[in-house]
Amino acid sequence: MLPPITTYDMDGFNVKISWTDPYTHPTMLVSNYQIIIKDSLGVYRGHPECDGTDSVIKSQRYCIVSMNSLRQEPFSLNVLGTLIQTRARAWNVIGWGEYSNANTIGAVIQNIPGIMRPPTRGAATSTTVMNIEWLPVEDTGLATIDSYNL
């Protein structure tokens, strides 16, 4: 199998782990997958949100794992920028295949943005309009800031 691919899900709070189907003989179709994720100690372990025996996950060949769950035990991936490394293998009537190599590129651990500095009053453009100004958040948590809520 090729190494799995890790990307950010559309909301940026989740990681999408996808993998390709290995070459299979028509009479020996893959019936299960096992996907494992490397924790902070270097140990690969399964994740309940990525159960390769689940019929939906198995048929779509991807799973969505929450970023928050990867930052908590047992994974404890708390260092911003840590690559989320995964491996996968397939099972058919003969048994489990070999694990793929781990991915070497892909999604990294992100966090919620840091505290925003207080906005300031800008120059008034008229007697009824006042500008509010603010500086960008310095600690973006390695994620793109899509909007501010004042």
Position 146 scores a pLDDT of 64
Query: Model confidence over 55-95: pLDDT tens digits?
Result: 999 999 999 999 989 999 999 998 888 999 999 999 988 89
Position 32 scores a pLDDT of 93
Position 22 scores a pLDDT of 81
Alpha carbons 70 and 40: distance in angstroms, whole number? 10
Alpha carbons 1 and 68: distance in angstroms, whole number? 28
Position 145 scores a pLDDT of 67
Q: Among 60, 58, 16, which Cα is nearest to 37's?
A: 16
Q: What CATH number labels 5-96?
A: 2.60.40.10
Alpha carbons 56 and 24: distance in angstroms, whole number? 20
Q: Residue 71 corresponds to which tokens in the numbers above?
A: 């930052």
Alpha carbons 41 and 30: distance in angstroms, whole number? 31
Position 86 scores a pLDDT of 97
- Report whether pLDDT(121) > 90: no
Mean pLDDT value across the chain: 85
Residue intervals of the chain classified under CATH 2.60.40.10 are 5-96
Query: Model confidence over 7-49: pLDDT tens digits?
Result: 988 666 899 999 988 876 777 788 899 999 999 999 999 999 9
Alpha carbons 8 and 113: distance in angstroms, whole number? 16
Amino acid at 62: Y
Position 91 scores a pLDDT of 92
Position 75 scores a pLDDT of 96
Alpha carbons 47 and 73: distance in angstroms, whole number? 11
pTM, rounded to two decimals: 0.76
Place of tokens 């840091």: 114
Alpha carbons 57 and 51: distance in angstroms, whole number? 7
